[in-house]
């Protein structure tokens, strides 16, 4: 693990995020449709039939833990895409505390509840598996099943990965950290290797739990992820 990720590793050593992500009483209400957030730059809003449909499927980092729904990753990504000239509805399908197994169990229900097949599904799961010390092979199996289902339905994938805490040992880290690039290659998915890259090392961009980004931190992440999302959409 590089030195720039050391503060992240230290935060994970405390396992503070596990408690925060798993407490259902502290989970904010999630927005059902980020398209309710106006672009805010005077751009005309496209009709539903003209919008690209993106699903942000993950845990608290997508759900918007500790921030308002207008400040959540899906809402801010939708705004950034609009400012780039891409009309998109980014659905917030993040559930705080979800493991990869929990995500797999609700995937079909989430997709079947949409009005049409998404143009892209973003997946951010595995962080809670790692915090709980779940065997990386179990995480890999679940994420593989998620990717298989998306492939079966003909839905393009964008993975946003996580990094294992060093206190879990080198063998664990090597096994866990390889999951995301391996799946990206296997399923021809776009990959953003570490969701909190460039943010977790700046205390001004992280909440007090040192695991979840602030609204400003989310904006910093969105600035990096938006071009990758735009590129994935352009390939269709």
Are 139 and 126 in contact, with CB atoms under 8 Å apart?
Answer: yes
Q: Is 3.40.50.1110 the CATH classification of the domain at 3-234? A: yes
pLDDT digits (tens, 9 = 90+) for 31-53: 444 444 334 444 444 555 579 99
Between the alpha carbon of residue 2 and those of residues 94, 163, 217, the distances in Å are: 28, 11, 20
Between the alpha carbon of residue 234 and those of residues 68, 84, 193, 224, 228, the distances in Å are: 30, 13, 20, 17, 10
Question: Order of strands, edge to edge, in the sheet holding 120-124?
Answer: 88-94, 52-58, 120-124, 157-160, 190-192
pLDDT computed for residue 15 by the predictor: 40
**pLDDT tens string for the chain (236 positions)?**
444 444 455 445 444 444 344 444 333 433 444 444 334 444 444 555 579 999 999 999 999 999 999 999 999 999 999 999 999 999 999 999 999 999 999 999 999 999 999 999 999 999 999 999 999 999 999 999 999 999 999 999 999 999 998 889 999 999 999 999 999 999 999 999 999 999 999 999 999 998 999 999 999 999 999 999 999 999 98
Is pTM beyond 0.85? Reply is no
Between the alpha carbon of residue 141 and those of residues 61, 68, 187, 218, 225, the distances in Å are: 21, 33, 14, 29, 26
Q: Domain locations in the chain? A: 3-234
CA distance 69 to 29: 8
- Give me 135's structure tokens: 């065997």
Which sequence positions are flagged as catalytic? Answer: 60, 209, 212
pLDDT digits (tens, 9 = 90+) for 187-229: 999 999 999 999 999 999 999 998 999 999 999 999 999 999 9
């Amino acid at each position: 693990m590089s030195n720039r990720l050391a503060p992240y590793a230290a935060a994970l050593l405390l396992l503070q995020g596990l408690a925060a992500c798993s407490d259902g009483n502290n989970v904010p209400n999630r927005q059902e449709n980020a398209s309710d957030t106006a672009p805010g730059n005077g751009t005309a809003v496209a009709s539903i039939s003209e919008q690209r449909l993106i699903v942000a499927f993950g845990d608290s980092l997508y759900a918007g833990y500790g921030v308002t729904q207008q400040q959540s990753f899906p809402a801010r990504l939708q705004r950034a895409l609009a400012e780039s000239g891409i009309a998109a509805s980014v659905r917030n399908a993040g559930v705080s505390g979800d493991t990869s197994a929990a995500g797999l169990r609700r995937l079909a229900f989430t997709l079947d509840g949409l009005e049409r097949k998404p143009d892209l599904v973003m997946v951010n799961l595995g962080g809670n598996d790692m915090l709980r010390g779940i065997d990386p092979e179990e995480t890999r199996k679940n994420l593989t099943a998620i990717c298989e289902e998306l492939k079966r339905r003909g839905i393009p994938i964008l993975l946003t990965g996580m990094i294992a805490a060093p206190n879990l040992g080198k063998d664990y880290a090597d096994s866990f950290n390889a999951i995301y690039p391996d799946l990206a290659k296997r399923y021809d998915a776009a990959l953003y290797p570490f969701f909190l890259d460039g943010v977790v090392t700046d205390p001004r961009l992280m909440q007090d739990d040192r695991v979840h980004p602030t609204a400003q931190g989310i904006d910093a992440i969105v600035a990096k992820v938006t071009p990758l999302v735009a590129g994935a959409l352009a390939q269709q």
